[in-house]
Chains A and B, each alone.
Chain A
C-alpha cells in the first residue's frame, strides 16, 4: 500500500517547551491510524501541523507524495478535518453551513453531495434547522458531513465521537468504517475511548510527552506491553501502562 502521509522528524517547540519531539510515521492508503496518548502528549499539536495551522519547528510532511509546505493549497483540497472542539456557525442552517464549505472545497454539484451526506448521517429532516439548535450528537454528525464533503483521500478526526451517546457513537463508527471501505479513505484518528480505537484502527501510535513510545497493531501492542499470550487486544491496559510509565 502506498503511503498518503509521511511524517519525518517532526518537531514543535513553543518557547523552550517541546510539544512534539522528532516524530516520524506514515499512514497508508485506506488505513486508519489511531493516534493515542494522555492529554498534552502532542496529538492535537501534530494534527494542527498536518493541517498547516501550526508551523513545525523542524521536520518534513509529505501528503500524496507532495511536500506539504510547498503545496498546502492543492493538498488541502483532498484532506478534511473534524474535531469535537470545533463547530459550525450556529446561526446558519445545516444546509447553509454545508453549502459554504462546499464552496470552500469547490465541490461540483453541491446540492446533490449535501443531500447524499445528510441522508447517510440521518440529518435530512434537519436540513433547514438552525445549526445552533442541534443536539451535540446532531452537531457532531454535521461536522462529519462537512468533513466528507470533498470526498477526502485523507481525513483527520480528533475525538469525533466524544460528545455522542453510545448508540449514536456506534452508528457513527459504523458509518465511518463503511465510508472508509467504499472510498478507501485514510484516517488519522484520535480518541480516548480505547474500545473505539480497537474497533476502528488498523494500527496505533502512542505518544507521550511529544515522543512516539509505541507503534503497532492493537493486538501486537497488547502482546508486547501486557502479555505475549493475549488473543484479544486490550488497549485500555496498554494505555494505562504507557501513560503511567515514568
Chain B
C-alpha cells in the first residue's frame, strides 16, 4: 500500500469499537474469550490432581500444569483474536467496505492487537482467579517474571496472527481453519507441560527456535528455583522480534499479492 497515509487514532478506535460492539452482541465471542479458558483450567486441574495423587507429587505437578495451561491460553487467544477480527468482516461481507475506506491494513492490525491485549489480560485474570479458587494456585507467584513471560508470549501470538491473516487475505476462506489450528501445530513442541528434554532430538532442535519453548522452560525454572537465567529471556525476545519482522514482511507481501491477483476483492471465496 502507498505510504502517504499516517496512522489515524480515529480509524484505530473505530476498528476497536466494531469489535467491542460485536462482543456485546455475540454470545460465542464471550464464550470464546472466557468459557474455554475456564474449562481448560478446570479440566487440567482435576486431571493433574488425580494423576498427582497417584504419584504423590501433587503440588509440583499442579503448579507446572496449571501454570502451563494459563500461559498457553495467552498464546492461543491472542493469535485467534487477530484472525477472528478479519474473519468476522469476511463472513459479513464487509471487507470491501473496510478497505475501500481510508483504513490501512496496519491500522486494522494495530487495533486488533490493542484490543486483543486487553482481552488477554482480562482472560489471564479470570483464569488465574479460577486456578486460585479451585486449586490454590497463584500464577502471580511467578512475580516479576510473569511480565516478560506475558509479553514474550503475546508478541509471538501476534506474529502468528499476522501471518495467518496474510494467508487468509491471499488465499481466501479455504485457509480459515488455520485461525483455529496453527498454534496447535507448535503446542506439542512448545514445552508447555513437559521439558524440551522429553522431546526427540530433532524436535528439541526445532523447539530452540520457538520463543514459547524458552518461556515455558523459564516458567518451570522460576516455579522450582525462584530464579531465571537471562539467556532464556534473551533467546525468547530475540526470536519474537525476528518472527514479528518476518510476519510483517509476509503480511505486506500477501496483501500486495492479493491486490495484484484480485483476491482482496473476493476474499470470501
Contacts and interface: CB of A to CB of B under 8 A. Distances in A.
Interface string A66-78: 0001111110110
Given A99-B17, A100-B14, A89 B101 contact: no
B22 A91 contact: yes
Contact of B101 (A76, A83, A92): A76
A103 B17 contact: yes
B21 A74 contact: no
A72 B4 CA distance: 7
Contact of B96 (A19, A45, A83, A106): A83
Contacts of A55: 256, 259-260
Interface string B96-125: 111111111000000000000000000000
Contacts of A48: 262, 265
Contacts of A91: 21-22, 25-26, 92
A73 B97 contact: no
Contacts of B98: 104
B141 interface: no
Contacts of A90: 92
Contact of A100 (B1, B21, B102): B21
B100 A73 contact: no
A92 B89 CA distance: 12
A213 interface: no
Contacts of B103: 104
A101 B22 contact: no
A130 interface: yes
Interface in B1-52: 1-2, 4-6, 8, 10-11, 13-15, 17-18, 21-22, 25-26
B205 interface: no
Chain A's interface size range is: 35 or more
Interface centre among B1, B13, B96 (most CB of A within 10 A): B96
B261 to A, nearest CB: 7
Given A48-B265, A100-B18, A105 B92 contact: no
Given A92-B25, A100-B21, A105-B101, A73 B262 contact: no
B93 interface: yes
Nearest to A76: B102
A88 B89 CA distance: 8
Nearest to A89: B92
A161 B110 CA distance: 36
A137 interface: no
B101 to A, nearest CB: 4
Contacts of A71: 2, 4
Contacts of B17: 96, 99-100, 103
Nearest to A85: B93
B174 interface: no
Given A81-B96, A87-B94, A101-B14, A73 B256 contact: no
B100 A51 contact: yes
Contact of A53 (B25, B93, B99): B99
B66 interface: no
Nearest to A143: B97
A120 interface: no
Given A101-B97, A103-B10, A92 B22 contact: yes
Interface centre among A53, A79, A92 (most CB of B within 10 A): A53
A20 to B, nearest CB: 11
Contact of B1 (A72, A89, A101): A72
B14 A73 contact: no
B259 A54 contact: yes
A41 B74 CA distance: 48
Contacts of B210: none
Contact of A89 (B8, B89, B104, B260): B89
A83 B100 CA distance: 12
B265 A87 contact: no
A85 B89 CA distance: 14
Contact of A52 (B92, B100, B261, B262): B100
Contacts of A105: 101-102
Contacts of B264: 53-54
Interface in A194-220: none
A148 to B, nearest CB: 13
A53 to B, nearest CB: 5
A58 to B, nearest CB: 12
10 contacts: A51-B96, A52-B100, A54-B259, A54-B264, A73-B2, A79-B100, A88-B97, A89-B22, A93-B21, A100-B15
Given A53-B100, A71-B4, 17 more contacts: A54-B260, A54-B262, A54-B264, A55-B260, A72-B2, A72-B5, A73-B6, A81-B100, A88-B92, A89-B88, A91-B92, A92-B18, A103-B11, A104-B14, A105-B102, A106-B10, A106-B11
